[in-house]
Structure 1
């Protein structure tokens, strides 16, 4: 009894001991904002903030305040208490505010304790304890809410609903676009409560929201359908989009449903619009939620269409691996790198090197960051356009390489793995799409977290059919061999490319011919690519040595997938010897 009581008191201390002076806990605000930039006086606007736990498992308070420029105190306040969050875990607090006075408004969010003291955490440099949103404007003229942003408007997300107004949803059945929204009449529960739509099914039925009435919604410059949702237990949910014609009064066709997996805490899931496999995104009529599991309580905080950056078309999906690979690594760091579209045409795979762990190795959150290249020849200015030109016009594959020397990553938890996936998805959308991911995160003392890396790889392949997963392991490393074999057996890796350079003896053609046998026996020849380093440097090959090494291994294993060169910039500076001499041998 005494032991149990001590445990209960310790748990209470965990919950209530989050005073500002306690160093065990820390949290910050990852984002804060309103779901509309302008609105007429008298209408409601959704306000939201996302709290991120920065240190130690705990429970927190999100303080939301709506501020009007010139007012001495907040004109509206809202508080949310988070569930217990692991380090790096996030919670979204959302509500609504009815603006009665014209003016300029902002939303302030603060990450606080739950002990009633009102103490606010300091947060971190990237995730401060207090964050204020960009301004939104309330005008004095009442006008109908817009159905969609102006055609071609870059970066304009379309919020379908944030469910912050129970009266609007429960009585008028209207979403933020002015469209009708309801269930098919068979759901056990369908109501907006506490800033979220609550749904429950007996095992059939669906919920829908009309995106437009008088004209279809043009989503041709949108990237993804985003849902913030949870379930009372681990459960699935199906999303689909309907298209219309003419006046768009009804749906005339529907996409195949896309299944997403929900946990017991709110999570943000973005489904690229290309996954719905619609012939056109310019005629959207509705979004439908179906496949609700019987007896499960679903909570939906928001639904929105996410815009592409700069108003570019939606990301183009990957289309699979070339029969023979002639690849090269393209580091971002030269001051004037060759533009992607101007890389020698004999390269059919280009590795973007490299995305790195946020916060440094082994990663603080699991997310990765990308640094734009030097712009001496326009590589940065034309980066996104060049990537898509290389993919769609030149027929090349663009693969994002993650990690590299000094940039290892660990994935000890699913939370960190999910953050990695989310950041890759964000980069995918930001760059207009790419074709794969290259695991370069395990090197030196950083061992691979095989189980989580399998999950991440399969999740990316699930999201993007045809997505390529590769890795450049150390040729001699038993650890790397075991990892790559496990990945291939799980269907989570397309090929491994051992690096025969940058180490004593590795660039010897005789060693390459001997060592490649181990990799072929483990993975099969069609899943092995040979990694070359052709440069005038110690432990690198001359082009003649690279040709010799390839001819030796090709004679033994004709089905080898191909070869790569580190790095493209060096090959260019030497007059493209790898591209011109190796390509005819690898891909006759």
Structure 2
């Protein structure tokens, strides 16, 4: 997204109650968010787009992301001050009015979050102290202004380990209703091994949505390995599929586009193209040349920079995309309680054995694969134990009664390489997938790193996952 002088970005994801011929839309119980969302960025500066008070933002926007919080001289700490130039342009907009407007927006059912970064942002979270500072300072802003969460838009890169720690600490302070969004550039989401993608996967259990910026990008590789140019439907769908097929849930993926040609240096598409891309991902209709391998009924929506640029363009983006999102079915409620469990729970074993899958939700249907691919509605239904052998990877999802088949996913990895778990040790290079034992528990490495004293698996859930 552009900085205060140049770039703008919108986070759009939409939903509405009942639609023509499609299922009613349901909401996420933890955050109070609808299945499909429309989010926009609100400028805390005057850059030529229409200046707005929070009270001017149309109800069509489900999430209002305030851009931006500023770095301070203390590493990791951020602060926010209402811009004096904006206040003057609005004829005098005070902090108390700003806070009151946020409360009123929340009273209408909208969510308001603080965005950190932007093109010119210099926030750095690269050690435990700065992680703590970041969490404490963001929570302080949430308390003071009434923000519902935070948007991570650090265009100069992120440290996936320590930012994950910071966001988990923030989550522990704010509770289950915390909204966490991310707005990475396309280059940072080309591979799960990139730091931004790793961050998203490391906090998947508390992450709300990733609204990648499908603009100011040039050409990029799509899921099928082909090169696609920005400003096309195929660019949106082929790049979104990389995220959808590499670990993020469909309800965690949104399409980020400029609200007008003035909102970005390149990559603008007509809102009708955004709608077509959403249809392609939602149910396979209105596709361009690229066709994703699956459909994703819970695709979260769209995002744009910005509400201000949209206002300057007669709200063409919101007026076109929001009603279309309203027409999409709910795709089922997002309920992690329906996630399957595995026995054994995963790890490295001495010999081939049987693995069973279960779900605590009564009446759940479990579908699975044994080749490492993501299960879909056509995958076999689980019944009885699965006999596994060397390098077998099992993935499965469970669908509770009344839920869409792709609403909940989970995965277990069972690998037989003829060896036992190694004992965790400091000053050792570990790669993703390595298995260790520590403190009587088994762990799988989820991010490559060199261990240090104090980084025991039980202390760093962003690096190790208990099995």
Structure 2 portions without partners, runs of 5+:
1-29, 219-228, 285-295, 328-467
- Correspondent of 2:241 among 514, 517, 539: 517
Q: Does 1:347 align with 2:72?
A: no
1:80-95 correspondence to structure 2 within 5 Å: none
- Correspondent of 2:106 among 364, 382, 391: 391
Distance 2:66 2:34 in 1: 17
Structure 1 portions without partners, runs of 5+:
1-317
Q: Residue 312 of structure 2 aligns with which residue?
A: 573
Distance 2:133 2:199 in 1: 22
Q: Does 1:539 align with 2:267?
A: yes
- Cα deviations by residue, 1:272-315 (Å, 9 ceiling, x for unpaired): xxxxxxxxxxxxxxxxxxxxxxxxxxxxxxxxxxxxxxxxxxxx
Distance 1:412 1:475 in 2: 22
Instruction: Report if the CA contact (8 A) 2:139-2:174 is conserved.
Output: no
Q: Residue 434 of structure 1 aligns with which residue?
A: 147
Structure ID, larger Rg: 1
Q: Residue 418 of structure 1 aligns with which residue?
A: 132
Distance 1:398 1:506 in 2: 29
- Correspondent of 2:42 among 315, 325, 330: 330
Q: Residue 487 of structure 1 aligns with which residue?
A: 203
Q: CA deviation at 1:506?
A: 2.7
Instruction: Report if the CA contact (8 A) 2:161-2:199 is conserved.
Output: no
Q: 1:451 to 1:501 in 2, by over 3 A?
A: same
Structure with greater contact order relative to length (CA < 8 Å, sep ≥ 6): 2
TM-score by length of 1: 0.42
Q: Does 1:549 align with 2:277?
A: yes
Q: Secondary structure at the match of 2:132?
A: helix
- Correspondent of 2:211 among 492, 497, 514: 497
1:197-212 correspondence to structure 2 within 5 Å: none
- Correspondent of 1:471 among 182, 186, 191: 182
Q: Residue 526 of structure 1 aligns with which residue?
A: 251
Q: How much is the aligned-residue C-alpha RMSD, in angstroms? A: 2.1
1:223-262 correspondence to structure 2 within 5 Å: none
- Cα deviations by residue, 1:29-72 (Å, 9 ceiling, x for unpaired): xxxxxxxxxxxxxxxxxxxxxxxxxxxxxxxxxxxxxxxxxxxx
Q: Residue 377 of structure 1 aligns with which residue?
A: 90
Distance 2:305 2:120 in 1: 17
Q: CA deviation at 1:340?
A: 1.0
- Cα deviations by residue, 1:297-353 (Å, 9 ceiling, x for unpaired): xxxxxxxxxxxxxxxxxxxxx954332211011121127621112212111111001
Q: Residue 141 of structure 1 aligns with which residue?
A: none
Distance 2:124 2:150 in 1: 16
1:278-293 correspondence to structure 2 within 5 Å: none
Q: Residue 232 of structure 2 aligns with which residue?
A: 508
Q: Where does structure 1 differ by over 6 angstroms across 4 or more consecutive aligned residues?
A: none
Q: CA deviation at 1:378?
A: 5.5
Q: Residue 300 of structure 2 aligns with which residue?
A: 561
Instruction: Report if the CA contact (8 A) 2:66-2:112 is conserved.
Output: yes
Distance 2:242 2:235 in 1: 12
Distance 2:235 2:99 in 1: 40
1:90-105 correspondence to structure 2 within 5 Å: none
Instruction: Report if the CA contact (8 A) 2:272-2:321 is conserved.
Output: no
Distance 1:543 1:425 in 2: 35
Instruction: Report if the CA contact (8 A) 2:132-2:169 is conserved.
Output: no
Distance 1:342 1:453 in 2: 33
Distance 1:525 1:426 in 2: 31
TM-score by length of 2: 0.52
Q: 1:379 to 1:420 in 2, by over 3 A?
A: farther
Q: Secondary structure at the match of 1:541?
A: coil
- Bigger proportion of residues as strand: 1
Q: 1:497 to 1:454 in 2, by over 3 A?
A: same
